[in-house]
């Protein structure tokens, strides 16, 4: 009987790929969030979805500082990722960032502001239009999105806005890794008297002008964001450019 | 009938709470006229009500000197009661060693006496006090009932001075916070180190500057080498007769700083740093895992910035 069930399940699973993927949204949220159905509708537009262990979201189970919750998304085990959307079910601004790996592996580390304890999820879209969703629960004391940025009272960020510090690791266990920090307040607009002011787009390009990764960032990305990525097979210098929602741009070269 | 039942429930609940909110503070004499209340080496929980801190008092000729007032109004009140059980002398002065909530939120119980702290500690309590209190309500619950920030009323100057007829060496250091006051009672040889020293309990670092902290520990260790030195009272953990807790705190901080710097230099992401295992000698300390996690959050961004320069 058990064998029969297994075979049936296997046959069904085989039949479902990929044309029948639209039948998948019945999938049960492993994080059991009351908001999942809304998330599916609001963030992923009701598109076909599977929960997939190959999309790994790392974040501490308990985050001490809700303004700087480290999140690392690794969807490199899933072939053919075109786009990754990161969101938090219980944040007042749901979407955190979106990245398009292009010629880099589908891996990105960053930090986020969380307003309260919430699932943090990454949805990776493959060529067949299916979103593969992974996630983890983060407990936090909250207030991350409606608290003023740490440097809100200082003039320093205004003088150093969009100042970029980056580095590549060309050897050792982190070979191919790139890390970059940008001075930016990343104001959410949810603090009274402080309009939304945040980085919107960052592009990483190799020396030949080939784009490795495009990142669209939204308000919940932490102040003075730090990004960790892997550049894959390319070598040599790396260009990073981007701009915020007020049109302030940056363009830097990170030496190998 | 229903109403009567409600009253009865209230009575029972009230009776239970009265017993529940007893910190069980018992003054322990560690030198002539010098007493301490030693808290648990735990995190804030509804079970311990915030009794995770060491406080103390010195029965001086001109009245009792209280060193730190604990984590809540109830703690301060119960502490004051316990002090009265030891000496009939009135309290002449309360000193807050630094601006963290478990060291000053009992101040309300001493509102009729002068309360003194270093200038930066007074500023810190003014700026962060309410947020700290709110956080402790969240962490310990009803133990905090009635607790409000009661800021120090006087500014302390460093130096050796007669306080309430007792010769105290007040040493203004920093590193755990922006202002960490250490009190050396020259009469008894007892060194109240505040939170610059933790004993068999992982140190906390929300406002730490590790370089300054290590320099402060060197100064403290020098005092333990003085001939009159008898006893060290750390901010958290058991009292000691030697500098071992100072060396343990230093070892933790040096390891922490080295780990964060090496991780940043190696290109690790914050989640990878959080996943690093703790060496056995530190992993065995109470609350080591949670304090390490917090410290990464507090201190890794600076190490990272240094590595990305």
State the pLDDT confidence band at A206, using cuts at 50, 70 and 90.
very high
Question: Domain boundaries in chain A?
Answer: 26-254
CB pairs under 8 A between A and B: 61
Q: How far apart are CA A157 and CA A141, in angstroms?
A: 26
Q: In the predicted model, what is the mean pLDDT of chain B?
A: 94
Name the residue with tokens 């990142």. A215
The shortest CB-CB distance from B297 to any of A64, A71, A228 is to A64
Residue A24 predicted with pLDDT over 80: no
Q: Which residues of B touch A180 (CB under 8 A)?
A: 308
Question: How does pLDDT run along chain B (309 residues), one tens digit per residue?
Answer: 444 444 444 444 444 454 679 999 999 999 999 999 999 999 999 999 999 999 999 999 999 999 999 999 999 999 999 999 999 999 999 999 999 999 999 999 999 999 999 999 999 999 999 989 998 998 899 999 999 999 999 999 999 999 999 999 999 999 999 999 999 999 999 999 999 999 999 999 999 999 999 999 999 999 999 999 999 999 999 999 999 999 999 999 999 999 999 999 999 999 999 999 999 999 999 999 999 999 999 999 999 999 998
Query: Model ipTM?
Result: 0.85
- Check pLDDT > 60 for residue A4: no
Q: Do B308 and A165 touch (CB under 8 A)?
A: yes
pTM comes to 0.88
In chain A, at which residue ranges do the beta strands (DSSP E only) sit? 49-51, 56-58, 62-63, 69-74, 81-88, 95-100, 107-112, 118-126, 131-140, 164-169, 177-182, 199-206, 211-217, 226-230, 238-244, 249-254
**Whole-number mean pLDDT of chain A?**
88
Quote the pLDDT of residue B19.
64
* Alpha-carbon span A107 to A84, nearest angstrom: 9
> Quick one: pLDDT at residue A148?
66
Q: What is the pLDDT of residue B168?
A: 98
What are phi and psi for residue A100, nearest 5 degrees? Answer: -115, 105
Domain B22-243, classified CATH 3.30.1780.10, yes or no = no
pLDDT at A19: 43
Per the CATH hierarchy, to which homologous superfamily does domain A26-254 belong?
SoxY domain (2.60.40.2470)
Average pLDDT over every residue of A8-36: 62
Q: Which residue of B has its CA nearest to A183?
A: B305
- The beta-carbon neighbor of A58 closest among B271, B293, B305 is B271
């Amino acid at each position: 009987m058990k064998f029969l069930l297994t075979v049936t399940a296997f046959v069904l699973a085989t039949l479902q790929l990929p044309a029948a993927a639209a039948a998948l949204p019945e999938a049960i949220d492993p994080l059991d969030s009351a908001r999942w159905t809304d998330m599916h509708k609001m963030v992923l537009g009701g598109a076909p979805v599977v929960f997939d262990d190959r999309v790994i979201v790392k974040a501490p189970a308990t985050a001490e500082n809700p303004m700087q919750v480290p999140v690392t998304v690794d969807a490199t085990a899933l072939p053919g990722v075109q786009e990754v959307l990161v969101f938090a079910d219980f944040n007042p601004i749901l979407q955190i960032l979106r990245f398009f790996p292009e010629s880099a592996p589908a891996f990105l580390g960053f930090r986020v502001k969380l307003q309260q304890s919430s699932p943090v999820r990454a949805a990776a879209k493959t060529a067949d239009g299916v979103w593969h969703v992974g996630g983890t629960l983060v407990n936090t004391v909250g207030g991350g999105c409606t608290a003023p940025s740490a440097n809100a009272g200082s003039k320093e960020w205004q003088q150093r806005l969009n100042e970029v510090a980056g580095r590549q690791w060309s050897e050792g266990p982190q070979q191919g890794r790139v890390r970059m920090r940008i001075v930016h307040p990343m104001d959410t607009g949810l603090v009274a008297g402080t309009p939304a002011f945040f980085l919107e787009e960052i592009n990483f390009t190799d020396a030949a002008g080939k784009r490795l990764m495009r990142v669209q960032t939204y308000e919940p990305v932490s102040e003075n964001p730090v990004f960790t990525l892997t550049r894959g097979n390319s070598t040599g210098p790396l260009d990073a450019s981007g701009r915020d929602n007020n049109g302030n741009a940056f363009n830097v070269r990170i030496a190998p | 009938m229903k109403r009567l039942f409600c009253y009865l429930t209230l009575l029972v609940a009230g009776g239970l709470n009265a017993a529940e909110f007893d910190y069980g503070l018992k003054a322990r004499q560690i030198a002539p006229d010098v007493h301490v209340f030693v808290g648990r080496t735990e995190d804030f929980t509804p079970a311990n009500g915030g009794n995770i801190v060491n406080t103390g008092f010195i029965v001086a000729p001109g009245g009792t000197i209280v060193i730190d007032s604990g984590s809540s109004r109830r703690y301060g009140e119960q502490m004051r009661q316990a002090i009265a059980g030891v000496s009939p002398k009135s309290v002449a002065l309360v000193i807050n060693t630094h601006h963290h909530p478990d060291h000053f939120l009992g101040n309300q119980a001493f509102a009729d006496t002068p309360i003194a702290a270093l200038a930066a500690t007074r500023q810190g309590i003014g700026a962060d006090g309410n947020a700290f209190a709110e956080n402790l309500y969240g962490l310990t619950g009803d133990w905090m009932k009635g607790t409000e920030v009661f800021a120090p009323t006087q500014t302390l100057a460093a130096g050796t001075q007669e306080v309430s007829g007792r010769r105290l060496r007040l040493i203004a250091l920093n590193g755990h916070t922006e202002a960490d006051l250490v009190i050396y009672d020259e009469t008894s040889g007892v060194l109240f180190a505040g939170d610059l020293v933790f004993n068999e309990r992982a140190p906390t670092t929300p406002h730490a500057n590790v370089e300054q902290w290590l320099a402060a520990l060197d100064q403290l260790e020098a005092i333990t080498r003085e001939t009159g030195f008898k006893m060290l009272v750390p901010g958290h953990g058991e009292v000691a007769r030697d500098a071992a807790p100072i060396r343990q705190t230093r070892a933790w901080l040096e390891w922490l700083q080295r780990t964060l710097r090496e991780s940043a230099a190696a290109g690790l992401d914050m989640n990878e740093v959080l996943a690093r295992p703790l060496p056995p000698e530190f992993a065995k300390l109470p609350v080591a895992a949670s304090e390490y996690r917090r410290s990464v959050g507090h201190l890794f961004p600076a190490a990272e910035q240094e590595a990305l320069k």
